[in-house]
Structure 1
Amino acid sequence: MQSPPRQKLAIYDMDKTITRRATFGPFIRHVITRYKPGRAAMLPAMAAVTAGYGLNLINRARLKEINLGLLLGREIDASEAAAMAESFAMETRRTNFLSEALRQIAADRAAGYRIVLATASYRFYVDAIAQLLAIEDVIATRCLPSGEGAFLPQIAGQNCYAEAKLMMVKDWLRTAGLARQDCHIRFYSDHVSDAPCLAFADEAFATNPHAPLRELADKRGWRVLDWPE
C-alpha cells in the first residue's frame, strides 16, 4: 500500500525574517504616536529596563513583560489592543515587509506548503500581521488572560524564543494532529537563536542571517538567502 503524502510545512520566523526590522520597538512607537501620547513619559523607563537586559540583570521574557506593562498598563483591554494591532499591522505592511520574503511565502504556498508563523513577538499583534499575510497558523508569545475581555502584560507559558520556540512548534504539531515523521518541514530565520528549529527542519534557510547564524549555516550546510532590504 502506498504511504500517504507527507504534510509540507513552511515555518517562518517573523522579525527580520519577514520584516526588515524587529517589530516591538515600532509597535511601541505606533501606540504612543496614534493612541497613547502620554505614555511617551515611560520611554526613559523602557530604555533603563532595556539597558538592564543588556547587562544581564533581567532575561528577555521579563524585558518584554515590563516594557509592555509600561506601554499599556497593568491590565490591557483586549478590544483596544486589537484596534492597535490592526492599525500596526497595516503600518507594518506599508513600511516593514521584505518583498523577497513575501515572494518566498507565495512560492511555498503555491508548492503546496502550509505556512506557519513562529515568532517570539506577542500573539495579540502577530495575529493581525498574519491575517494580512493570509497565514492561519501562528505560534507566538501569549499574554496571561485577565477576566473577561482583558489580559495582562505577563507571559502565559514561555517566551517563544530559542529552545522554547522548538518546544512550542512541537506542541503545535501535536495539537494539529501531525506526526513529525509525516511532515516535510522548511524553517526560515535570520537569527542563531532559532538554531534548534533550523536543526529540527528537513530544510533550513538562514535568511539575511546575522554573523553567528551565517557561520553556523556554513558549518551545518544550511542554505543562506540574502534578500535585499
Structure 2
Amino acid sequence: MNLALFDFDGTITHKAMFADFIRFAVPRRRRILGTPLFAPMVVGYKLGLVSGNAIRSSVVSFGLRGARAEHVREMGRRFSDEVLSTVLRPIALERIRWHRERGDKVVVVSGALDIYLEYWCRTHGLDLICSRLEVVDSHLTGRYHGPQCVGAEKSRRVRETCTLQDFSTVYAYGDTEEDLDMLSMAHKKYYRWQELP
C-alpha cells in the first residue's frame, strides 16, 4: 500500500479558502467591525512583514471567539456543500480517485480549519490532519487547539499519525512554501501539479 498526502488550499482547490470561510461563517456586522482593524495586518502580510499564522490566529480570535461550536460546524457543513464544491480542481479529484482505486491511504494534510474540512473529507472518504479550533463548554474560544498545521508541523503530524515505513511509496502534493517540508518526506513529490526530482 502507498500513502498519498494532499495539501488542500490551492492544491485540491483553486485558491486558499480561509478568507472565504470567514466571510461565510462570521456575521456581517462583526466582519464590518473587523475590516479596519485588520487592514494594516493584511498590508503587512502582502509585504511579507506579517506571517500567515499571525493573521489567521488574529482573524479566528476576532471572528469566531464565543460562537457556538454546533452552529459553526453547521456553517462548515454548508460551506463544504455550497462553496467548496465550486472551487475543486478536476486534476486533484482525478488524482485522489486514482490513488483510492489503487488501494492507497489518502490523507488531506492542511492548515485549513477542521470546522469544514472534517465534513468534506468524511464525505469523500479521506483521512484528515489539519488545524483545529479549540472548543470549551460547547463554544469556540477563538484559539487554535495546538499549532496551526503548516510548514514543519505538517510533516510532524504525518509522522505522528502514519508509520511511513509501512508504505511502499509516499506521494505528496502541495502548492506553497508551507508544503515543502511535507513534500521532502515523499518519494514522489508534486509542487503545483508538477513532479519534482
TM-score, with length taken from structure 2? 0.89
Return the alpha-carbon distance in structure 2 between the equivalents of residues 49 and 129 of structure 1.
30
Residue 172 of structure 2 is aligned to residue 163 of structure 1: no
Runs of 4+ in 1 over 3 A off after TM superposition: 52-59
- Count of residues in correspondence between the two structures: 195
Q: Percent identity?
A: 24
Question: Residue 125 of structure 1: CA displacement?
Answer: 1.7
Residue 133 of structure 2 is aligned to residue 143 of structure 1: yes
Question: Residue 159 of structure 1: CA displacement?
Answer: 1.2
Q: Secondary structure at the match of 2:10?
A: coil
Return the alpha-carbon distance in structure 1 between the equivalents of residues 21 and 146 of structure 2.
22
Given residue 29 of structure 1, which amino acid in structure 2 is its aligned partner? R
Kindly indicate whether the alpha-carbon contact (under 8 Å) linking 1:61 and 1:155 is maintained by their aligned counterparts in 2: no
Q: Secondary structure at the match of 1:144?
A: strand
TM-score, with length taken from structure 1? 0.77
Match of 2:180 among 186, 195, 215: 195
Match of 1:71 among 55, 63, 70: 63
**Deviations 1:111-170 (Å, cap 9, x if unpaired)?**
1111100001111221122123221x1110112232x22222212221111111111111
Kindly indicate whether the alpha-carbon contact (under 8 Å) linking 1:46 and 1:70 is maintained by their aligned counterparts in 2: no
Q: Secondary structure at the match of 2:5?
A: strand
Return the alpha-carbon distance in structure 2 between the equivalents of residues 46 and 208 of structure 1.
33
- 1:49 counterpart residue number: 41
Match of 1:96 among 87, 94, 97: 87
Match of 2:102 among 91, 108, 111: 111
Kindly indicate whether the alpha-carbon contact (under 8 Å) linking 1:49 and 1:66 is maintained by their aligned counterparts in 2: no
Return the alpha-carbon distance in structure 2 between the equivalents of residues 75 and 152 of structure 1.
6
- 1:182 counterpart residue number: 166
* Unmatched tracts of structure 2, length 5 or more: none
Alpha carbons of structure 1 residues 194 and 47: separation in structure 2 relative to 1, 3 Å: same
Question: Residue 172 of structure 1: CA displacement?
Answer: 1.4
Counterparts in 2 of 1:213-228, with a 5 A limit?
A: 217=196, 221=197
- 1:3 counterpart residue number: none
In terms of Rg, which structure is larger? Answer: 1
* Unmatched tracts of structure 1, length 5 or more: 1-6, 174-178, 222-229
- 1:80 counterpart residue number: 71
* Structure with larger RCO (C-alpha < 8 A, sep 6+): 2
Return the alpha-carbon distance in structure 2 between the equivalents of residues 44 and 27 of structure 1.
19
**Deviations 1:6-50 (Å, cap 9, x if unpaired)?**
x32111000010000101111122225xxx221231223233332
Q: Secondary structure at the match of 2:2?
A: strand
